[in-house]
Amino acid sequence: MPEVKVYSTKQCPYCRMVKAFLKKHGIEYEDIDVGEDEEAARELFQVSKQLGVPVTVVGDEVIVGFDAPRLNALFGTGKKDELYDVVILGAGPAGLTAGVYTTRKLLSTLIISENIGGQAMESWAVENYMGYRMVSGEDLMAKFEEQARNLNINLELDRATGVRREDDTFVVTTYGDRTVRARSVIVATGRRPRRLGVEGEEKFWGRGVSVCSTCDGPLFRGKDVAVVGGGNAAVTAAIEMAKIARSVHLVVRSTLRADAVYLDILKAKENVVVHQPYVVSGLIGEAVLTGMKIREKETGTEEEIAVDGVFAEIGHEPNVDAVRGLVRVNPGNEIVVDENCHTSVPGIFAAGDVTSIHGKQIIIAAGEGAKAALEAHMYLLSR
């Protein structure tokens, strides 16, 4: 077995998932915290040319991010095709809640997800989930996961790539080359961060450009960074990065849309500069990011700002690839559901941020997950 190293930070939920995967498969590894050790951060870049985590080194192979299919290929064990009452796609608030409810209804359940916690894991602070005055997204989702694990729910770290109907069942295929059959499916795949779409973004991805400040923020301690966006996610990221970085440039396209409580905290941060109304027009650097271009929307005036990191917090788009062309979606590519989480295909239900339900909140996603599970149970009883 080759030597395995994991470069990580304490705040990174995806790092925790890599380590949980290795532990599950009995793989010994060396955990290197690059958020606290500057020399380790330099080593990370030398090994992988990355300024982001997690990075896993297996012998001579470098695996960037939580690449569940590649980890499965290296360390996973093949499983026979099985038939489940319910297969749930996604393990965020909606998917994990759905799993708890289907299991309590004694339905054989499999959850397939490339991460545990979903988009909620990227939240620095959650202040509107009942029962908690304030809790980090990671800690809240750890509670969700703990409850699901205590029920011995089957949870596979993989990515669903397709769903098709075959006779009276659904066939789910995965990126890890697995095929699973199900009597019903709950799609709770959530959303993925939207990219900036500017010149240089691909070049500097993982080399200064990131969509996860909770993961990669500690690598920019004492440096100059930018956060792009004007909503709650962007403002809270700027607030937290102000505690770590030397300076934070908050680039806002139009108006600040964050809650008043966050805006009050932002105003008190002396090392945060707000650029409004501006857009990012380009990214600058050689091997790594060294700056960005921003353009004033009204006059078109462009200027360059020296930064070491740029964090995009400009919204998310739904993860519908696995069921694209099978269920009906709206113009925003959200899965269309009725008030009971039914999609356009009998036997396929959907819940959480991937759906057309307006509210994109953790507490709403969890409730929709419970509804979808109960509806799946009723569907199976009726058959």
By annotation, the residues acting in catalysis are 212, 215-216
Task: Provide the 3-class DSSP secondary structure of residue 36.
Answer: coil
- Tally Cβ neighbours within 10 Å of residue 275: 18
* φ, ψ (nearest 5 deg) of residue 180: -130, 140
From CA 310, how far away is CA 196, in angstroms rounded? 10
Confirm if 47 and 8 have CB atoms less than 8 A apart: no
Tokens of 199: 């010149």
Alpha-carbon gap, residue 23 to 88, rounded angstroms? 23
Determine contact, residues 176/72, Cβ cutoff 8 Å.
yes
DSSP for 245-303, please give it: SSEEEEE-SS---S-HHHHHHHHT-TTEEEETTEEEEEEEESSSEEEEEEEETTT--EE
Element (H, E) at 144: helix 137-150
C-alpha 72 chain-centroid distance: 19
Return the SS3 of 342.
strand
Provide φ and ψ at 86, rounded to 5°: -135, 130
